[in-house]
Structure 1
Amino acid sequence: MERKLENIENQFETFQILNEEGKVVNEEAMPNLSDEELKELMQRMVYTRILDQRSIALNRQGRLGFYAPTAGQEASQLGTQFALEKEDFILPGYRDVPQLIWHGLPLYQAFLFSRGHFHGNQMPEGVNALSPQIIIGAQYIQTAGVALGMKKRGSKSVAITYTGDGGTSQGDFYEGMNFAGAYKAPAIFVVQNNRFAISVPVEKQTAAKTLAQKAVAAGIEGIQVDGMDVLAVYAATKQARERAVNGEGPTLIETLTYRYGPHTMAGDDPTRYRTDELDNEWEKKDPLVRFRKYLEGKGLWSEDEENKVIEKAKEEIKAAIKKADEQPKQKVSDLIKNMYEELPAHLQEQLEEYEAKESK
């Protein structure tokens, strides 16, 4: 049995295209991206890093509510989203707001989501996504259902979802993959392994050498990817999407990544469970630094171009938070009205009670 397990684990070598110095180490796997697409990918990563920094500042000012930092995970998040088509459906976790924004969610609505305002959860027409899932792993089951619906309709699109390494400890994780695998539903399951879930090391969550190998039990494809290498993440997702729309079933993608900040801004202190040595090790793998070196080597990126993106991000974030501030304040009566198309009697009574209070 030990030999069998070892044979399985050895099949899941980490897929990489760019090393930490931004050098190509896997020329055959290079995705077919134009120079403009490469630059667009870098622009999105820089923009998202600035968005993270500003969101943390806004949270500390009391202008945002719940917020889960994203710095360090840009390659994992944006590399996967960049491989999608507009008709594909995203079912995110609570750290996956950047994917929603680049899929079409207006920035001011992302800020409203953080504040708990219902308008932040109302996806605009043409944006195929659910609002971020707070329940750990629940989006995996939802994704199996959405993907099966796509298959039954004959749609050439996929459903993609995300969770962290902690999410793989949930029953929903296994149930969602198993169901999608049994029906060969066009789903992509992404595990962003940032090593600590909230505070528990991944080594204490599972005896498995990799999280990608958990695909074996579900009978689906699995791959472990260097999650700090945006080209590797993109290539793996692109291939998973092609397999899915061709009727070959789901793929589990484990991205080895790292969040530089706390789990959320709600009081988590990563210094209690992470060492400076580990932080420093992963800072050397920074996805922006790595991709920047690669693009500079091709003559596609400069400090001036990056500064333009930074200034654009700051301006758009300022405008978006202003627009969020201008939205009508959420009322208790709004929550009651949004719950049902036709209110049951007891909620109708509560609605009338709160509307009377709010009118004073």
Structure 2
Amino acid sequence: MTKHDTRTKAPLDRIAKVESFIVSVPRDVPYLGPLKDGEFINEKGYLIRKGNRSIYPASDLSVLVRITGESGEVGWGETYGIAAPEAVTAIVDNLLAPVIVGRCPSEAAVIWEDMYDLMRVRGFFGGYYVDALAGIDIAMWDLYGRRAGLSVAQLLGGRRHDTLPAYCSGLPRATLAERCDMAVDFVNKGYRAIKFAAAVSDEGIVQEMAALREAVGPDIDLMVDLHWKFEASEAIRLIRRLEPYNLYFAEAPCQPEDIEGQAKVAAGIGVPLALGEEWRTVYEVRPRLTSGTCGILQPEIGHTGITQFARIGQMAQGFHKQVIPHASISVGLFMAASLQATAALQRVPYHEYQHSIFDRNLAFTTGDMGCAKGHYTIPSGPGLGVRPADALLEHVRGDVA
């Protein structure tokens, strides 16, 4: 039975069903660009990038969550599923779905805390378990927003931005000359910021920075993703060599568990250090902020969900830090969630734009979300503001009828 909250008059809708689905979208060129010598796609469809020793799928993998209310209304979520997405769906289907049936999605933050507590004493305060929470959390916010007739940004307190500046992430071309040409093309389309990936800077990271600066001119913001490749002192020396080319920020120089190293780098360079794509909760963020590890936070909503994303944004404001959200492989649903949640924040100079993924994914969602001339358009409409299109369902493993 659908009830009403007498305080807000917003209709409540108890959760009747929770489902998860794996999505696999083929790619012509693997994520981060063509394969290098010694790199290959294994029998399970994964490759290891020698530049950062990290595993990636040859196709784009993601996990969708669908929550159906007693009214029949549906909320959609999406979470990080780049590697072994079956682990996420098992957690959603076997552990979490049965215990939240009957709950009201208007209590999404409370439900997130209750789900987190289920496995907290076993040490599962990160990884696949919290990724599963993120997908459910996004779907609950979407369902609540749709029932209330409000966007997620409005539910979070209000929309501050109708558009957000976008920085182009990655230049997936085989040679430095081709990557420079690609950067110039983006500048000509109106984008004012570009990030390159050190994991594929085969001609040298400093050489790539110098070539890009010469190609795009002095007024474009250039960033580098260092992909956790360096010891702290190495990172400081490298970033100092990049600074004369007017580096905007340096991302992820040290291994993510090396809090002391991150703090050492942040204190030893003259540009902001950007961290946080792998963080999932405020519990991971707080010790890094109190240790002075970064000037820019990069929450990835596919890891955090909306509840923790909003709390991380509030914590960043309390520490006077900027937020530049991370955008990873997805099919568009958690990108809509990220734009909605980011629209409610104050200090947001940019949002990452994974152009090789986002533009294609617009065919997989309905709504007015977009990115053009250097800016994202925040989707309008209730909840996330987007819905899965029929084209997306063709890439789902299993039945979504």
Task: Please indicate, yes or no, whether the TM-score normalized by the shorter chain is above 0.5.
Answer: no
Q: Where is the strand percentage greater, Structure 1 or Structure 2?
A: 2
TM-score, length-normalised on structure 1? 0.29
Greater relative contact order (Cα 8 A, min sep 6): structure 1 or 2?
Answer: 1
